[in-house]
Amino acid sequence: MPRTIWSGAISFGLVTVPIHVTSATEHHAIQFHQYHLEDMGRVRVRKFCELEDREVGNAEIGKGYEYAKDQVVPISDQELGNLPLPTAKAIEIAAFVPLESIDPIQIGEGYYLTPDGTVAAKPYKLLVEALGRSSKVAVAKYAWSGRERLGLLRVREDALVLHAMRWPDEIREPAEIVPPPVEVDEDEIQGALALMDTMSREELDDKEFRDTYTDALAKVIEAKREHQPLPEAPETQEQPGKVLDLMAALQESVQKARSSRGETGDADVHDLAKAKKSPAKKTAKKAPAKKTASSTEKKTATAKKTTKKTAGRKPRSA
């Protein structure tokens, strides 16, 4: 059972759900320490007081804010825990929004929220059921580690998950890194879509998506421990400095993707591109039939469009 990171409650209107927070993920990467290469003695970071010029222990260390060069204001963990904020001891739900209205770049680490005792089980289940049926996620505010944060609450297999989120003003605009205007041929776009279809998966396969870097590093460590020759690195194909023919690159990529999935026979990206185009043409021919729709049907369609546009609108941040 993962250790509890934080304890508090979910505030949902007047409903309160006491919860414990645990990490929803774990790291399997190999960790290194620093050593003195001459004698392999462990190198450690020690904490020294600048004024007394001596090492201090954790019990003597606390937080402080440098208000001025000659004035530091000490702040204790107890004082941080008693901040005059509703979010200091609760995850306060502020709104419910469609998941697609949130930019994934805002979403960070995930945490499981577990009910604190049998009393919390019913309101916890209530929130799980309500979120599941609404097909929405909750946007909440909470205060951890000396700062107020934005979070996203969602359901994962009957459990509530809290994702840390960045505030909107913490996201940099991509305008400065967007390349200058350039023309892309329609056949090239359709060829890229054909390649995407070839590489599509219904779900992520554990055998295909694994941490091969950690596996290779473990083999190197084991070989060195046993004083054996190090594993040889696989030969990599040289990549050209720039792509001269996009369609040729797409053709080769499609062929490799098909081969990796065990599909035989040559596939021409031009044919795949034409196949992608054909459904769109059929749909275009059928479009005029909509002109005969009655006025009642037109009003219904307009109402549906308005509802859909309103639901997808990104809410203002609290």
* 288 or 97, which is more confident: 97
| pLDDT value for 140 | 95
pTM over 0.85: no
Q: Please compute the mean of the pLDDT values over residues 7-18 and round it to a whole number.
A: 89
- Tell me, yes or no, whether 308 lies in a domain: no
Q: In the chain, what percentage of residues exceed pLDDT 90? A: 38
Q: In the chain, what percentage of residues exceed pLDDT 70? A: 76
- When mean pLDDT is compared over 36-40, 85-89, 294-298, the highest value belongs to 36-40
How far is 123 from 129, CA to CA, in rounded Å? 10
- Tell me, yes or no, whether 176 lies in a domain: no
| pLDDT value for 276 | 54
- Tell me, yes or no, whether 179 lies in a domain: no
pLDDT digits (tens, 9 = 90+) for 150-185: 999 999 999 999 999 999 999 988 888 888 888 888
- Tell me, yes or no, whether 89 lies in a domain: yes
| 20, 118: one domain | yes
Q: Please compute the mean of the pLDDT values over residues 228-236 and round it to a whole number.
A: 78
* 114 or 304, which is more confident: 114
| 151, 272: one domain | no
- Tell me, yes or no, whether 220 lies in a domain: yes
8 A C-beta contact, residue 161 and residue 24: yes
Last residue in a domain, options 146, 170, 194: 170
| pLDDT value for 297 | 45
- When mean pLDDT is compared over 15-19, 25-29, 78-82, the highest value belongs to 15-19
Residue 159: strand, helix, or coil: strand
Residue 44 predicted with pLDDT over 50: yes
| DSSP output for 62-112 | -EEEEEETTEEEEE-HHHHHT-S-TTSSEEEEEEEE-GGGS-GGGEEEEEE
| 149, 255: one domain | no
| 133, 12: one domain | yes
How far is 273 from 189, CA to CA, in rounded Å? 8
- Tell me, yes or no, whether 94 lies in a domain: yes
| 268, 210: one domain | yes
Q: Residue 187 — very low, low, confident or very high, per pLDDT cuts 50/70/90?
A: confident
Arithmetic mean of pLDDT over the chain = 79
Q: Residue 273 — very low, low, confident or very high, per pLDDT cuts 50/70/90?
A: low
pLDDT digits (tens, 9 = 90+) for 87-114: 777 899 999 999 999 999 999 999 999 9
Q: Picking from 23-27, 34-38, 171-175, 306-310, which range would have the lowest pLDDT averaged per residue?
A: 306-310
Q: Say which residue the tokens 């205060």 belong to.
A: 143
Angle CA 41–42–45, to nearest 5: 140
Domain coverage including residue 147: 6-28+81-170
Give the single-character DSSP code of 208.
T
- When mean pLDDT is compared over 78-92, 118-132, 195-209, 266-280, the highest value belongs to 118-132
| pLDDT value for 85 | 73
How far is 39 from 41, CA to CA, in rounded Å? 5
| 127, 190: one domain | no
Q: Please compute the mean of the pLDDT values over residues 222-244 and round it to a whole number.
A: 72
| pLDDT value for 279 | 52
- CA neighbours within 13 Å on the CB side: how many for 238? 2
Question: Which residues face 71 on adjacent strands?
Answer: 68
| 252, 156: one domain | no
Residue 35 predicted with pLDDT over 90: yes
Q: Please compute the mean of the pLDDT values over residues 117-123 and round it to a whole number.
A: 91
- Tell me, yes or no, whether 60 lies in a domain: no
Q: Please compute the mean of the pLDDT values over residues 138-160 and round it to a whole number.
A: 91
| 98, 211: one domain | no
Question: Tokens standing for 225?
Answer: 């421990």
| 165, 191: one domain | no
**Structural domains counted in the chain:** 2
- Tell me, yes or no, whether 196 lies in a domain: yes
| 161, 19: one domain | yes
Looking up residue 135, the CATH number of its domain turns out to be 2.40.290.10
* 57 or 307, which is more confident: 57
| 132, 204: one domain | no
What lies within 8 Å, CB to CB, of 191 at 6+ separation is 246, 247, 250, 251, 254, 269, 270, 272, 273
Question: Tokens standing for 234?
Answer: 């696989």
| 22, 109: one domain | yes
| pLDDT value for 317 | 41
Other Cβ atoms within 10 Å of 30 Cβ, number: 13
